[in-house]
């Protein structure tokens, strides 16, 4: 019973716009990589998540650092816009401390699950980077806390937030197993949803499916 209370013990509510700080950190790191080629090489060699580096060289910090690296301007802009749109509202709902914990834990879990797949399928040359896994977790959490919220696709098509999660899940599944994957880590996006679901059930004692079923 004590263990259950411990990892579900809530933080005292504070709101410090941690979302903005995370966005700024990402852009600062991206700017340094863009301006200084040596820093880019160093950051990607030691920060991007890679099976060989983690499994054989014990660079376990890569489960966190990979989510602060991005491959190009469109990559970081899309991720940070998603974090801005959904992260601020979520942070206000759960508080800054809980939000930062959620963001880092879910991002790390997304990377860890991806690492396991890469490890056991022999994909040793993959260098995973980007905040997408954490961003998908934030989208999932937004849909849980604001299940009646409507998101406008392309600014014109209204879609309830839980339906948006379902749509993205279908798209990512299709892209992972049927489509051309290219350089997009669709699997990590799906693991972002899984990580958020686990966080809600284990840390918060909230069952997302029940929340969505009760929406009227």
Sequence spans of domains, the chain: 2-213
CA–CA gap between residue 159 and residue 95 (Å, rounded): 26
Residue 22 CB-half CA count within 13 A: 32
What is 2-213's CATH number?
1.20.1540.10
Helix (H, G, I), strand (E, B) or coil at 49: strand
SS3 166: helix
The per-residue pLDDT for range 54-65, each reduced to its tens digit, is 999 999 999 999
Token duo for residue 181: 């994957």
Give the pLDDT score at 181.
Answer: 55
> Model's pTM, two decimal places?
0.93
Query: Which parts of the chain register pLDDT below 50?
Result: 1
pLDDT at 177: 73
Taking the C-alpha atoms of residue 68 and residue 157, their distance in angstroms, rounded to an integer, is 31
pLDDT of residue 1: 45
CA atoms within 13 A on the CB side of 45: 6
φ, ψ of residue 69 to 5 degrees: the values are -115, 145
* CA atoms within a 13 Å half-sphere pointing along the CA-CB vector of 43: 23
């Amino acid at each position: 019973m004590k263990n259950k209370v411990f990892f579900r013990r809530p933080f005292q509510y504070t709101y410090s716009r941690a979302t903005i700080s995370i966005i700024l950190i990402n852009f600062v790191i991206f700017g340094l990589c863009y301006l200084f080629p040596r820093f880019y090489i160093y950051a990607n060699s030691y920060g991007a998540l890679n099976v060989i580096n983690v499994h054989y060289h014990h660079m376990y910090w890569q489960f966190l650092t990979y989510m602060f690296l991005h491959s190009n301007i469109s990559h970081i802009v899309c991720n940070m816009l998603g974090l801005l749109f959904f992260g601020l509202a979520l942070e206000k709902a759960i508080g800054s401390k809980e939000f930062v914990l959620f963001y880092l834990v879910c991002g790390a879990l997304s990377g860890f699950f991806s690492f396991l797949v890469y490890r056991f399928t022999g994909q040793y040359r993959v260098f995973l980077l980007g905040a997408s896994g954490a961003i998908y977790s934030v989208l999932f959490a937004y849909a849980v806390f604001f299940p009646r919220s409507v998101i406008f696709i392309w600014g014109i098509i209204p879609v309830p937030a839980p339906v948006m999660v379902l749509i993205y899940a279908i798209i990512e599944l299709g892209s992972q197993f049927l489509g051309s994957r290219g350089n997009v880590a669709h699997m990590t996006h799906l693991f972002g949803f899984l990580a958020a679901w686990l966080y809600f059930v284990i840390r918060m004692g909230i069952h997302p499916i029940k929340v969505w079923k009760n929406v009227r």
